[in-house]
Amino acid sequence: MKPTLFVLAAGMGSRYGGLKQLDGLGPNGETIMDYSIFDAIRGGFGKVVFVIRKDFEDDFRRIILSKYENHIPVELVFQSLNDLPEGFECPEGRVKPWGTNHAVLMGKDVIKEPFAVINADDFYGRDSFAVLGKALSEMEGKKNDYCMVGYRVGNTLSESGSVARGVCETNAEGYLTTVVERTAIERIDGKVSFKDENDRLVTIPDNTPVSMNMWGFTPDYFAYSEEYFKEFLKANMENLKAEYFIPLMVNKLIHEGVAKVKVLDTTSKWFGVTYAADRQGVVDKIQALVDAGEYPAKLF
């Protein structure tokens, strides 16, 4: 059974002011997501599931899905603020979605095989899908044994400003021991640096693994996520900004000894449009990959 690619795209319309402007960055107007789907197909994935907002369904089917339909099976699921476990109601005034792990939960009825989770608007690169596809194809029938692609932090920085990354710590066997969200990571005097919670400048090696929200799970992950979401809601109902993030769930499972997460190294360089000023750089990087023969000039 081939693994499934689960694409978190529910934030899309809001960030881009509607799907019409889904930014064409490739030579023939390809979006970043087009490259992910293309890389997933050649990395051995058998199906793509998108989680989106229900109000974008018609546009999404017309503009986005129609491109992929002859290349790989696709399915849609929807994330909404009111999609809560029994006994919980969305508090008045809440407008922020419940976060990435809530989005993951939306796939529980359609995904029955090992699956990868990615962001819609990050460029992950060919090698990362090859590495993750191989790992997931070996996870069939397993439980509590997950993985994530650890990018080398030096391959994920922006020239236009500082970035936030989940900095990973691993044990001697290469399993994740913790992910800590670090904000304001940038290159200072040639070294990758960030400010810690005491406002001290910390430098880390270029090859330190960071999470770019590229995970590999087996379907048992849904049950844990559902259970823990109830605890999260009880603790955070009053906080209209609190979000249920994937690393929150993963850290809990690791610290309680329930699951382990293998960190997979990749040579891929991550890029994305964190700042408006990043856009041209991304266009140039994609063009360079096309020129080097990594991608055809027209994907679909």
Q: Which of 59-68, 183-192, 213-222 has the highest mean pLDDT?
A: 213-222
Is residue 298 domain-resident? no
* pTM of full prediction above 0.85: yes
Residues 247 and 254: their CA atoms lie apart, in Å, by: 10
pLDDT at position 253, please? Answer: 97
* pLDDT(105) > 60: yes
Looking at the domain assignment, is residue 141 inside a domain?
yes
What whole-number distance in Å separates Cα of residue 13 and Cα of residue 19? 5
CA 101 to chain centre: 10
Give residue-wise pLDDT tens across range 142-176: 999 999 999 999 999 988 888 888 899 999 999 99
According to the 3-state scheme, what is the secondary structure of 118-153?
EECCEECCHHHHHHHHHHHHCCCCCCCEEEEEEEEH
Question: Can you give the pLDDT at residue 13?
Answer: 58
Give the pLDDT band of residue 15 (cuts 50, 70, 90).
Answer: low
Query: Which candidate, 1, 46, 39, 4, places its Cα nearest to that of 130?
Result: 39
pLDDT tens figures, 232-249: 999 999 898 899 999 999
Express each pLDDT in 122-134 by its tens digit: 999 999 999 999 9
Q: Assess if residue 299 is contained within a domain.
A: no
- 45 falls within a domain: yes
In CATH, what number is assigned to the domain containing residue 199? Answer: 3.90.550.10
> Which pLDDT belongs to residue 149?
97
- What pLDDT, on the 0 to 100 scale, is given for residue 87? 92
Of 221 and 97, the one with more pLDDT: 221
Residue by residue, DSSP assigns 56-86 as GHHHIIIIIIHHHTTTS-EEEEE--TT---T
Residue 94 has phi, psi (to 5 degrees) of -80, 120
Q: How many angstroms from the chain centroid is the CA of residue 283? A: 21
For the beta carbon of residue 151, count every other beta carbon within 10 angstroms: 27
**Number of structural domains the chain divides into:** 1
18 pLDDT more than 70? no
Structural contact between residues 273 and 163, judged by C-beta atoms closer than 8 angstroms: no
Would you say residue 297 lies in a domain?
no
Tokens of 17: 């002011």
In this predicted structure, the answer to whether residue 110 has a pLDDT above a threshold of 60 is yes
Give me the pLDDT at residue 10, please: 85
Mean pLDDT for the stretch of residues 14-42:
82
Q: Mean pLDDT of all residues in the chain?
A: 92
Lowest-confidence region among 20-29, 130-139, 280-289: 20-29
Say if 150 falls within a structural domain.
yes
> Do residues 262 and 175 touch, judged by C-beta distance below 8 A?
yes
With respect to residue 296, please indicate whether it lies within any of the assigned structural domains: no
Domain, as residue range, for 164: 4-291
How far from chain centre, in Å, is Cα 80? Answer: 19
